[in-house]
Each structure stands twice: as C-alpha cells, then as structure tokens.
Structure 1
Amino acid sequence: MKFSENWLRQHVKTGATREQLAATLTAIGLEVEELAPLGDGLDGVVVARIVECAKHPEADRLQVCQVDAGNGAMLQIVCGAPNARPGLVAPLATIGTKIGEITIKAAKLRGVESNGMLCSAKELGLDADASGLLELQADAPVGAPLADYLGLPDASIELKLTPNRADCFGVRGIAFDVAAATGCEVEPLSAAPVSVASAATLPVELGAGAEAPRYACRVIEGVDANVATPVWMAERLRRSGVRPVSFLVDVTQYVMLELGQPMHAYDRDLLKGPVGVRRARDGETLVLLNGDEAKLDAQFLVITDADRAVGLAGIMGGNDTKVGAATRNVFLEAAHFAPAAIIGRSRRLGLHTDAGHRFERGVDPELPPVAVEYATRLIVDIAGGKPGPVVDAVREADMPKPQLVRLRRARLARVLGTQVPDGEVARILGALGFAVAATDDGWQVTVPPRRFDIAIEEDLIEEVARIHGYDAIPTTLPGGATRLVPATETRSSEHDARRQLVARDYLEAINYAFVDADLLATWRLADGSVALANPLSAELGVMRTRLLPGLTAALARNAARQQSRVRLFEIGRTFGMGGDAPVETIRIAAVVCGDAAAEQWGEASRKVDFHDLKGDLDSLAALSGATLDCRASAEPFAHPGRSADVFRIGENGEAVRIGWIGQLHPRLQQALGLDTDVFGFELELGALLARGLPRAKALSKYPSVRRDLAFVVPENVSWAALKATAESAAGPTLRGLVLFDRYAGKGIETGFKSLAIGLILQDESRTLADRDVDAVVADVVAALGKEHAAVIRR
C-alpha cells in the first residue's frame, strides 16, 4: 500500500515527525518498505508560463524561451526539453535556488543568456520522469511558489502489508492504527449525503447469494466528464503510485485509496438495466477495460446489464460501458464481494488489479453506500451534475455479522507476561474502532466489520501487544519443567541421513513442492497429481508426485552454468491422490552427473556410474541396518539397462519396494536439455530409515569355513538372482555370501560371464566337518545349475 504522508495526516492529526511516524508504523506491524521525501527544499521554485520560444542560434536542440514568472518582467531561459512550447506552464527554478547539488546562477549557454532553469519532475525530486518539463495545469497561478501549489513538502510512504491486514489498503484504515499508537483520534469522515436532484435510478438484482450480498449505486446526470482532475487529487494519486487518467476514473481510484472500497463508473447511456450480479456462464466472454477478452466459467462473478455481462465483479470493468470524453450521465457502483468469490480469479486470467487485491483479502461490507456518497460529493463539486437517489440493495441474511470476542484480563496477562492497565486496554481497542464493554473478568469486544483478521481472543491480545508496544513488554524466561522425549530406537534420524550424504560430497537442495504440469508429463509422472486451485503461476500449477523432476531441473540449471560435476540431494514431501484426499509422503532423492570424484592428481578421472550411486545408497541403508535388493525396473523415465527398483528385505525375508535407483532414460535427458548422463535415486524416507530394535546375540565360538566357487552363467543372469538362489540353497549355516570377481573374455564363451563367489559357513553348536561343507556346496551348485544354468568354471 502506497500513500501520501500529508493525506494520512489529514485523517489523523499527529505531532509525530516523518521519521517518528515511519518508525511507529513499522513497530505496530505495518512495515515501511520505502519512504521517499518529496519537495523538500523547493524555496525559489515558482510556477511559470512559457510565452515565446525561438530556436537557439548555435544549437539545434536548445530553445530560447521568454518566460513569465509572475513578477511583471519576462525572463530569458535557455531550455533543451523537447516539450518546451508557448503556453506551457512549468516549474521555474529562479536564480539563487538550489536544486539537488546545483545552485542556479545566471549563465550564458552557447553565447545566449539564461536567467533560471525550467525543471522536470526528476530534477525536482518529485518523480522518475526526466523526459521533459513537468507540465502543470493551464490554470496554475503564475508566480506562486510551486510547493504551495502542489501541496509540498510531502512524502510517499509504501507499506509492506501482511495478507491479514486488508483494512489497511485504505488511508483511513491506516489512520486508525496510527491514532491508537500515538494517542490521537481519527478525524470524522466528511461523507454527508448529497441532496438528490434527479429521480434517475436503475433497478438492481442480486443473484449471487452470499458471494455478493450488497450492491450500492447511483445515477448522476449532466456531468462534465472533460473537467480536469484537481491538482490536489492528481498529486495524491501520483504519490500513491497511480497515474491520473481522467476525472471520472480518478475519482473512483481516489475513493478506493482513501476508504479502501473499490468502485467503478459506467456510462449510464450505454446501460439498459436492470443491473445485477450473478455467476458467469460457462463459455461466456467479456472484453475488459484493458482490451483483453476474458473467457469465463461459473467460478467467476459478473456485473450484468439486462443479463449481459458488462463487468468482471471485484476485478475489472468491461470495455463496452466505460466512461469517456462523451459521457454525460454516470452510473456509480460500489459492492461487497465475499473474499472466497474473488480469490484466485485474477491470476486465472493473468491479471492483477487493485480491486481484486483488496476483495481477495476482505473489504468492509458497510462501505459501499458510504463510498457512493463520498464519490458523488467529489463529482458534483468538481464536475457538476444532478445526482439521483442511492440504491442500496442488500441481502441481510447473507451479510457478514459483527464478531463478538471475549478478552479475559487474566489471559491477557498470562500471554504477554505483564499486566496492561485496564484503561490502556480499553483505550487501545477503542482507538482501533472496536466497541468495548467491560465485564467482571475483562472485556466483551465487538469487532468492526472491516477487521476480517479478528476472530478469537488471541487476535485481540495481539492487537493490545502491538499497540502497547513490544518494547514495553518485559523479557522473561519461561518457567516450569520441560519433559525431554527420548529419540526412538526404531528409526534413524533425518539429520543423520543429511549428514551422511553431505559427508559423501552432496549438497542439499530445497525445491518448490509445486511444479509445472508439463514437466511431470515429460517424466510421465503426472498420473495422480494434485492440481492447485489457486496456483502462483501456470508453471507452478500442480503438486509434485516425485522429488526427481525438480531435483534434476536444479542439476540442469547448475550444468548450464558450467558446473560439470553436480551432486545434489533433497528430503521433502510428495503428493498424490489417494481415495478422497491427497496423500503426503516424505521421500529422499539424489542426482549426480560428471566425474565420480573431484579433480585431483591421486587417481585417474572417470565418470560417475551406477555403482558409485549404489554405494552412496548403501551407506544410507547402513544407518538403519536395512538390507536392500535391486531388481530390474520398468519406470518410464529410467534407462532400461541401467536402473533398478529398490526393495527392502524384512526380517522374515519379505521384499517391499521402497524406491528406484539408476540412470535417466536418454530420451528424457535429451528432452530436459542435458548433454551428460544423469544418475539418481529416490526412496520413501520412512521405509529406508526404519530399523528393528537391537537384539543381543552370542557370537559362535566355533570357526567359520570359506569356500570359493567360480560359475559360468549366461550374461543376462543378474547377481541378485544368483544371490537369492544361493542363500536359499545354503541353509542356516550360511553366514556370508560375497561376489569377489567378474570376468568375461578369453576362455569364456560369447554371451556368458564368470562370477566368483565366496560362501562363508559357520555353526552355532559345533565345528563344521568337511562333509557338512561339501554338502552345502553341492546344494548351492545344484540349485544354481537348475535355476540359472550355472556351471562350475574349469
């Protein structure tokens, strides 16, 4: 919210300096994001009129101007502004005036005398526009001090409002907070009803129920639409970040900024009536004021004229009924729309309007008739016209009801840790516009309808705290005993998982939980995705179903910036539809590309591969003692020969799929613009970190026996399959099974490979004899031969 300091001081007469006012606003939660002083040190700058202009004899871009400064004599000024012309009224810095760091002196420019300087808005520190002279209105009093004419000095203050403070999107709403914080009172609003001078009206039909329960309007006949916007109004608009357009449009903007109530003005002669509010129909279209054609559906509200849509309710008016230079009869409207009926609609159309910004957060439902009366007074006083009666259509049953909130004295003291005097509490709440009634244990507070953020007792406690002053609340340590909850032994911690991956040279990434639907489609992971009803942008329209797409996008951005070796991991939530509601799952993922190790002289450079990543995953599994098994994967985004589904093997031997590991499919890498191989894994974090309770077990006092065997097996037989068969055949005496060699080449038939394994056997009750070991070896050889056509290598 941006506004003029002088405008605010008109509503609350505070003696605080500009710096004190800014500090107070920030201290009470209305953070001052920018404070720009305007018009300080303009002594000697006057309003002047250019009477004549002649080309400079020695410079093509300069003009020699004869200027009337109101002192009876013409001043000769050399000026290079492109808009300098006879009749133009502009600011003149007279000799001796200091503008910025420059003191104006009489001088010769290319041999021609110049006795002052005609100024642009930027040179005076009033605006960023330096394209030409600041053009003043033609009736500006020549010779008058510019500061007096423009209402200077002033300051433009911009607040960074939190979404709950919708009441401060108007200068008057801010005034209540300032009054409470500085011990002042808000000046009464001069919005007395205007005398009705015409019978002209339009009937109103409310067809949107609780979404639009109030619509106030008025017809004003015989308005001069071409009258200039008064300087005081135009300047307040400019200092609030709004460019004046035309008087009728400027009035509605002015009232919105002052009261917080959006308004719209229609050309009455372009309306047939009755006027109404209803839901849009599917496929209905409307050309907006900005020229865009909006395609609507039943989620939008529209303003109608004889049932045709003429405005997008709460967002923007229609182009067909806008006011213009030919307008003589005006139809003013101010309505109340429920926030839920407006929120998100602007973004769906790629718009952001001041009206939508306010209605999404909540506007005082009592304001529409007040705003109509206030705007009418401005129009009649400046542009003339005969106002008709105000039509205030209200659905009383659907109007927001005043909130009654109880504030207990003991609860206030307990939460704040200090006793605020009763009189101070009543003063603060009263100054904020609350109706306060004392009770035995505190206060019964009636919340004004403009304060949508006050619903419970803690909200009132916050109001008292921020106005009373956080620095007035003593700093005390909390008392009482704290019960420490021991960490569970059945799960490794996320912190340990993070430290493990960081120790293995990974960097943690944090990505948005919502992604582009097209990205999920590229990965073929869009099934079951949850679409957002109110996305921040079209590129962030759905909740992520996996971590890998966003994590790989982060890797791609790094790779595009000359980072050839990237190692990232992320722990976060994924979302998918599960029955009637979305289901959240915490997952862990990692992606790598480039060299296996950082550049060094100790070992030769090589590219990272599947087995490097598998080692990183095994180190995570070791945290919980998990036994993992990798099996061929059919994930659509995975390389068919270099990826696997990851299973966790339970104590009873059951296998549960918990994730995936491998290389991305080459086609996917190409679609993502990656010119390097990318490997990654993604698993359910809870399943990976779960661990059984430790159980003590005596070590066998009998020696173990190891037998090494080399098998020739077909190339397509995986080690995982061989391992599962060998473990099943070896029986209870098997203590370990290791693969220590793989060979293919000379001496091995094409299409086959040699795998050398070590069987480690041990018994709990006796030393194994050779016959026991031979029997186990024979069973393993037989099982591998039967299941996988494996033969002992000779």
Structure 2
Amino acid sequence: MRAPVSWIRDHVDLPDDLDVETLADALTDLGLKLEALERPGDQISGPLVVGRVLTMDPEPQKNGKTINWCTVDVADANGSGEPQGIVCGAHNFAPGDLVVVVLPGGVLPGNFEISARKTYGHVSAGMICSARELGLGEDHDGIIVLPADAGRPGEDARPVLGLDDTVIEFEINPDRAYALSLRGVAREAALAFDAPFHDPVERETPPADDAGHPVVVDDAEGCPVFVARTVSGFDPSAPTPDWLARRITQAGMRPISLAVDVTNYVMLETGRPIHGYDADKVQGAIGVRRAREGERLTTLDGTDRALSVEDLVVTDDSGIIGLGGVMGGEDTEMSATTTRVLVEAAHWDATSMFRTGRRHKITSEAGKRNERGVDPTICEAAADRVVELLTTHGGGTVEPGVTVVGTPPAPTTVTMPVDLPARITGMDIDEATTVRHLEAVGCEVAVEGTSLTATVPPWRPDVTDPYDLVEEVARIVGYSHVPSVLPPAPSGRGLTPRQKMRRRVGRTLAGAGFVEVVSFPFVGARDLDALGLPGDDERRHVLSLANPLSAEEPSMTTTVLPGLLKAVARNTGRGAHDLALFELATVTLPHTGEGTTILPVDHRPSDGELDDLVKAVPDQPLHLGVVATGESSPAGWWGQGRTVDWTDALAAVREVADALGVEVAVRPASRAPWHPGRCAEVVAGESVVGWAGELHPRVCTAYGVPARTVAAEVDLDVLLALAPESVVAPRFSHYPVAKEDVALVVDAAMPAADVESALRDGAGALLESIHLFDVYTGQQAGEGKKSLAYALRFRAPDRTLAEGEAAAARDAAVAMAVERCGAVQRA
C-alpha cells in the first residue's frame, strides 16, 4: 500500500514538525511494515518554477517537424525579471497557460542537466516540462499545463506538482485489509501519536427509498449489502482534477478517465471497492446470484470466461454483466460516451471473492481488498462520496432515489480474561490499559468481573479470538517492551544415544569427503518417472498435500534421491564436476487407515484423541542418501586419477555401518533407479536396509547428471536400531601377524561377498582381516570362471602363533569356500 503523507494528514492531525522517518517507524511498530520511502522531488534540483506562456510562435523545420519558439514569464526566478526564451516541441498549450519550467542550472531525473543552448536557431534557456521528464508518469506526448489557480509565475512548482510530498509504501499482511486504504493508515497514525482522526466515511447520507435503480439479491450470504446510486448528465470529457490524478498516481494506479478515477480514488481513500456501470447500457433490474452451469462472461479485460457455479455474478435483463466484487463485464463498461453513471457499492463474501479470483486468475486492486474483507457498514458513505466527486468535477445531477438492499453482518464479539494480555506477553499491562487500547482500535469494551467482552469494529474481520485482542493490546503498548527473559536450561544428560549416533554418521561421511545438503521434501510424478520406478513400486504411493508450494511437486517424497540428484545437476551445471553429497532426512510413507479430526486448542486432548492422532500420522523413517560423480582422486604428477564407481557408494554405506558398529552384508540386486548389473542390496541382520550402486543411464539423462553417477540409499532407522549404544574400541595385539594369500577360482556369477563370508567363517577366531586384492577373468581362469585373490591376516591377542597354525586356519577357510561356493584353489 502506497500512502502519500499529505493524504494521511488530510485525515489525522499529526504534529506539524513530525518528520516522515518518525511517522514510518511508528507505523512499522504498529504492524504496517515499511517497504520504501519515495521522495519524487529528490531527483530534481535547481530552479523548477511556475511559468506563464506569453508568446508561442510555430516554426516549421526542414525535417518536417514544427517547433514553438516561446517566451515565458518566470518573474524574478531567472534573476532578470525578463521573459525567458524557450524552444518547445509540444503543441498542447497556448499563450496564457501556466506551465512548469526548469531553468538553466536545474537537474532533472536521470542526472539530466539543463543549460542555455542554441537549438533550431534560437538560444533556449530552459525547458517546459512533461510528466515523464519530471518522473511523474509516462506521458510524454505533451507538457504539463497547470490549472489557472496553480500559482504565480516564478513560484516554486514543487508543491503544485506534489514533488515535496513523500510517499510511504507499506507491506500489508493479508489479515490487515483495513490498512489497504488511507482511512486505515491514517487511523493507525492517529493511534501512534494519539492525534485526532477524521474518518472520511463519517458523512450524512440520504436514506434508502424505492425510487432508486431496482436491485434483487438472490444470495444474501454472498452479497449482504448492495447500494446503488445514479448520476445523470455527466460530462464524459471532463478532465480529472490534477490533485486527484496526482494522488492516484502516487498510490500506484494510473489515471484513466474522471469516472474511473473517482471510483479508484474512493477505494483508495475508504478501502471500499466501487464499480461504475454505464446506466444506459443496463437493462432492467440488477440482480446478484450464483452463476449457472455453462454461463460465460466477457470481462473488462476482453477475456471470455467460462463461469463456475460457485461464482457470484451481477446480472440484468440481458444476462450476466459482471463478476461480483472481482471485475465488471464488457457490455456495461463506462466509455467516452457515458453520460449516466450507475454507482455500485456492494459488500461481498471474502471467501467467494478469493476463490473466484484464483479460479479465473484475476488480480485487481478491488479483488485484493474484497477477498481480504472490507468494512460492510460504509457502502452508503462510499457511494455518496463517489456521487459527490462525479457531480462536482463532471457536472450532472444526482438522480433521486437511493437503493440499499440487505444489512451488514452482525458485529463479532470476543470474550477474554482481563489479565490475558499481561499473562501472554509478560508485560505489566493492567485492566485500564487493556480497555483503553482496545477502545483505541475501535472496539466497544465491557468488563464484568475478571472477563472482558469486546465488540470488534466492522473494519477488523481479522479479530476473531482472545489472542487477536492480545495482539492488538501488545502492538500498541509496543513489542519493544516485551521483557527479554532467558528460560532456565532444563537439567539433562546432553544428547541422547540416538542423537549421538546421527552425528556420528554425519562426521563419518564428512571425513570420507562427502558434503551434506538439505533438500525440499517434495516430489511430483515427473520425479518418480525420472527415477524409472515401475507402476507398482511402493515408492509411488505418496502423500499429497492439500496446499502444495508447487503444483509440479505436490507430494511428500518417499525417497531422498530426487533432491540429491537435483543438487548434483545444479552443481555440475555451474562447473563443479567432482561431487560427493549426502543427506540425512525423513521420508513420508503413507499408510491406509482412517484420518482424524482437527483437535481443539483450548484444552488438552484426551489420551484416546492423541492415540488416534498419532495413528493417522504417516510413517516417517530417517533415510540416508549419498550421491557421487566425477573423480574421487585427481590425476597429477603422481599418476592417473580415479573416477568414482559403484563401489564408492557401497563403501560409504559400509563406513557408516562400521561407525555404528553394525555388521552388514551385500548381495547382487536389481532395483530402480540403479543399473541392473551394478546394484547391490545391503543387508543388516535379517533386514534389507538399502541399496547402492551405479544409476541407470536413463535416470542420469532424466535428471541431467553425468553418466555413471553412483548413489546409495539406506533406512537409517533400521541401522540405528541395530547399533549398540556404545561401540567397543578394538583391542590391538602386539604379537606378530601371519600373512597368508589364497586364490580361488569360482563361477563368474558368484558374488565375491559370498566367497569372503565363507572364508571368514572357515578361518575362525584367529582371522584378523581379509581383503580382496585381485580379480582375474582371463584364459587361465577358464571360460565362465573368475579368480579371486584374498589376503588373509592371522594374529592371536595373547601369543605368537605356532608354526602351522596360520596355515591350518587358511586351509580351513579354503575348505569352507570349496564347500559353500564350489571354489577351486589355484596353485
């Protein structure tokens, strides 16, 4: 909301010496957040004066253009008192007119310096200004012609043009619709400085009668009040007064015509949207109802719209002539030939206005106010103000008859304990302060015992419960007076075991070179398709949101991979090609079952209600996702670099499991989005906890990540449940190690992990470590075979191994591999 300070002062008696910064700060403290201070005159310096055109001689030029050689009276502003000679290319003025002149030495917006210079055979000493040259608008077709009473030649033109008037722009919260008007802003200013407030809607209005234009409202809930007044004999060519056009411009709207500008002015002043019809185009009585199936309307913006049965519409005998409270229809639009104006000031249901505006994608100043809630008691006053301005500046007369259909909704009453503001805010607020401040915002207050009942003013539909009243009291007392009290730290034992383990996971991955990211937990069908998930995959069973942030991602995610892959794509697109990322986040796994009701907030729910609430909440397990691409170690003078492969994703999972003290096993698997031949299933105990491997090429293409990107995702809740609360540090033996190497030939399809497991089980307690150091698939291994070479290390914790003990353990390990895996030992 843009509010010129001069307009605010029209409605509240602020101190003469009050500076704009203090005013803006005070209004911000009351909740009208300052967005900007605009001083249009700050970009203009030097002499800018009122001038009277004395002579105007047209001079055609060789280029086909005609310029005017003018002499302009600027009195003593030029230091000589002689008429100023100025060349001007505009033609919309005549001798005797008052114009705006910038003299040599002046600077216009854009740092445009004015000097006396020779042009078109004359020395032009200054410029006669247009609106665009002064930064007052986009009109550059002609210069500004001032009213005859604007001032005397030589006087400063800034006050005449409003260039000395500061405009305060506020960011208005959606629930503070009353502040989308000068009436509302001025009321807040009066509140801030305890100054007298002059309500622009306090005026004598004629009583309703049966002589006005007939109106029939079929939906009183959607349109509780409808007021109609008519002006005839209106001059459609009458210009908008400069002061009115200037204020509309300062408020951020564009002057169009007198009839339209007046309705916009009254809307900005009072907050009540007004609509004007060409009365000669309205056929019969006006009606208000819901649209019917199949009906259409061409609105003022020229768009043919299919209407919904939920839309409130305005009709006459010809059909629909407007979307009530949102936008009028093209057929009854006021034009350059309109001489009879039918003024509509109606109150509309805010919810209907919001839904209609969103349904038809219409954003307008009127709709913005109607959908937030407007004072329903000022329709007669607003209509009367419009009629007054139309007849004063556009001629014509007010036709007899005032149509008023319906009555405003009953005011809201709210009851609260008198001491509630003090208890909620922690400030020392007594009963008298509470009553005084509530009355200051327009409430009628009655105190009975320890309770207070406030009748809410009609312009505050946002005040509906006791805590809204608390907020009103607190903002006037001042949030700066809320005491800063540091709550006492509760006694405890620090982090829980689960919290410690989660941090251990993060530290482990960070130590391995991974960087943590945080992604939005939302997905859409496009993400799940990009992962290549089959139609019956359980990860496609998602929880959809009623009000998503994005229509393309309307559901809670069931996997952390989409967010990680988008992060990879974003980073690689910006030149970062070697990436190792991880994310710890919950996923949402909806389950079938009944929902629950919204629980009240004024008392503690029962245990049964809490149980039902918990049962309705979907499962949200904690998942760990890792993604890597590019080089894991760079090339250099030391040799070739190494590109990440599927084993790196698996290694990250193994490191996390080792840090938690959980033993995991891996086995081949096939699961989207991984490559079928390069995917491993991670097993802990009897549970499959996740998958790791190289992503499918189609997935890489769909997400725009490099080919052969690797990833892993595990259910961290399962790992944490299996992890001991404390990991026992390993005991190291100072006795010598015995080294044994074995090479085993197995079928090419045999997983190396199965062979390793057999060797480990067969070797017994003396085995300290086992490591696969070579895989050979050449001719000597045989067709369909591969050779796996393992390094086995044996050591006893309390003694040096005797001769033959290591060999015996090695032979036992080989025997187990032969038995389980069909292995053949190579010589």
TM-score (norm 1): 0.83
- Aligned partner (choices 706, 710, 714) of residue 679 of structure 1: 710
Relative to structure 1, the CA distance from residue 499 to residue 14 in structure 2 (aligned partners, 3 Å threshold; closer, same or farther) is farther
| Structure 2 gaps, min length 5 | 76-80, 534-538, 596-616
SS at match of 1:65: strand
Q: Distance in 2 between matches of 1:498 and 1:99?
A: 61
- Aligned partner (choices 327, 330, 334) of residue 338 of structure 2: 327
**What's the offset of the Cα at 1:243?**
0.7
Give the root-mean-square deviation of aligned CA atoms. Answer: 4.5
Name the structure 1 match of 2:266. 255
Asked if the contact 1:621–1:689 (Cα under 8 Å) also holds between the matched residues in 2, the reply is no
Between stretches 603-612 and 338-347, larger displacement belongs to 338-347
Q: Does 1:373 align with 2:379?
A: no
Q: Distance in 1 between matches of 2:755 and 2:291?
A: 66
Name the structure 2 match of 1:564. 577
1:564-607 Cα offsets, whole Å, 9 max, x none, are 22333444454565436684735443333222235765553232
Name the structure 1 match of 2:32. 30
Asked if the contact 1:171–1:259 (Cα under 8 Å) also holds between the matched residues in 2, the reply is yes
Name the structure 2 match of 1:613. 649
**What's the offset of the Cα at 1:436?**
2.6
Name the structure 1 match of 2:781. 748
Q: Distance in 2 between matches of 1:544 and 1:84?
A: 66
Q: Does 1:483 align with 2:491?
A: yes
**What's the offset of the Cα at 1:157?**
1.3
**What's the offset of the Cα at 1:497?**
4.0
Asked if the contact 1:426–1:436 (Cα under 8 Å) also holds between the matched residues in 2, the reply is yes
Relative to structure 1, the CA distance from residue 597 to residue 73 in structure 2 (aligned partners, 3 Å threshold; closer, same or farther) is same
1:133-188 Cα offsets, whole Å, 9 max, x none, are 55447877585654454455211211122333232122211222222211113213
1:369-389 Cα offsets, whole Å, 9 max, x none, are 443333333334333343465
Count of equivalent residues: 776
Relative to structure 1, the CA distance from residue 544 to residue 308 in structure 2 (aligned partners, 3 Å threshold; closer, same or farther) is farther
**What's the offset of the Cα at 1:558?**
2.5
Amino acid of the structure 2 residue aligned with 1:5: V
Q: Does 1:114 align with 2:146?
A: no
**What's the offset of the Cα at 1:365?**
3.8
Amino acid of the structure 1 residue aligned with 2:40: L
Q: Distance in 2 between matches of 1:792 and 1:166?
A: 84
Q: Does 1:242 align with 2:240?
A: no
Q: Does 1:638 align with 2:674?
A: yes
- Aligned partner (choices 632, 657, 660) of residue 624 of structure 1: 660
Asked if the contact 1:44–1:97 (Cα under 8 Å) also holds between the matched residues in 2, the reply is no
Counterparts of 1:281-292 in structure 2 under 5 Å?
285-292=296-303
- Aligned partner (choices 717, 739, 744) of residue 750 of structure 2: 717
Name the structure 1 match of 2:375. 364
Q: Distance in 2 between matches of 1:337 and 1:724?
A: 75
- Aligned partner (choices 62, 67, 75) of residue 63 of structure 1: 67
- Aligned partner (choices 401, 408, 416) of residue 406 of structure 1: 416
- Aligned partner (choices 148, 161, 185) of residue 196 of structure 2: 185
Q: Distance in 1 between matches of 2:410 and 2:520?
A: 36
Relative to structure 1, the CA distance from residue 434 to residue 635 in structure 2 (aligned partners, 3 Å threshold; closer, same or farther) is farther
Q: Distance in 2 between matches of 1:673 and 1:698?
A: 43
Asked if the contact 1:380–1:386 (Cα under 8 Å) also holds between the matched residues in 2, the reply is yes
Counterparts of 1:12-161 in structure 2 under 5 Å?
12-15=12-15, 16-39=18-41, 44-46=48-50, 48=52, 52=56, 54-55=58-59, 63-66=67-70, 69=73, 75-79=84-88, 83-87=90-94, 91-93=99-101, 95=103, 98-99=106-107, 108-109=118-119, 111-121=121-131, 123-127=133-137, 129=138, 131=140, 134-136=143-145, 143=152, 146-151=157-162, 153-161=164-172
Amino acid of the structure 2 residue aligned with 1:711: L
Between stretches 176-185 and 136-145, larger displacement belongs to 136-145
Name the structure 2 match of 1:317. 328
Name the structure 1 match of 2:600. none
SS at match of 2:263: helix
**What's the offset of the Cα at 1:218?**
0.8
Q: Distance in 1 between matches of 2:639 and 2:238?
A: 83
Name the structure 2 match of 1:430. 439
**What's the offset of the Cα at 1:611?**
1.7
TM-score (norm 2): 0.80
| Structure 1 gaps, min length 5 | none
Q: Distance in 2 between matches of 1:700 and 1:507?
A: 32
Asked if the contact 2:743–2:789 (Cα under 8 Å) also holds between the matched residues in 1, the reply is yes
Name the structure 2 match of 1:462. 471
Asked if the contact 1:287–1:293 (Cα under 8 Å) also holds between the matched residues in 2, the reply is yes
**What's the offset of the Cα at 1:711?**
3.3
Name the structure 2 match of 1:554. 567
Relative to structure 1, the CA distance from residue 687 to residue 338 in structure 2 (aligned partners, 3 Å threshold; closer, same or farther) is farther
Amino acid of the structure 1 residue aligned with 2:568: L
Between stretches 773-782 and 262-271, larger displacement belongs to 773-782
Q: Distance in 1 between matches of 2:587 and 2:51?
A: 65
- Aligned partner (choices 590, 594, 601) of residue 630 of structure 2: 594
Asked if the contact 1:315–1:356 (Cα under 8 Å) also holds between the matched residues in 2, the reply is yes
1:75-113 Cα offsets, whole Å, 9 max, x none, are 53123x6x5555497742264774458886655446512
Amino acid of the structure 2 residue aligned with 1:406: M
Q: Distance in 2 between matches of 1:512 and 1:49?
A: 66
Asked if the contact 1:513–1:544 (Cα under 8 Å) also holds between the matched residues in 2, the reply is yes
Name the structure 1 match of 2:821. 784
Asked if the contact 2:12–2:190 (Cα under 8 Å) also holds between the matched residues in 1, the reply is yes
Name the structure 2 match of 1:448. 457
Q: Distance in 1 between matches of 2:33 and 2:106?
A: 33
Name the structure 2 match of 1:662. 693
Q: Distance in 1 between matches of 2:549 and 2:618?
A: 21
Name the structure 1 match of 2:610. none
Relative to structure 1, the CA distance from residue 451 to residue 350 in structure 2 (aligned partners, 3 Å threshold; closer, same or farther) is same
SS at match of 1:747: helix
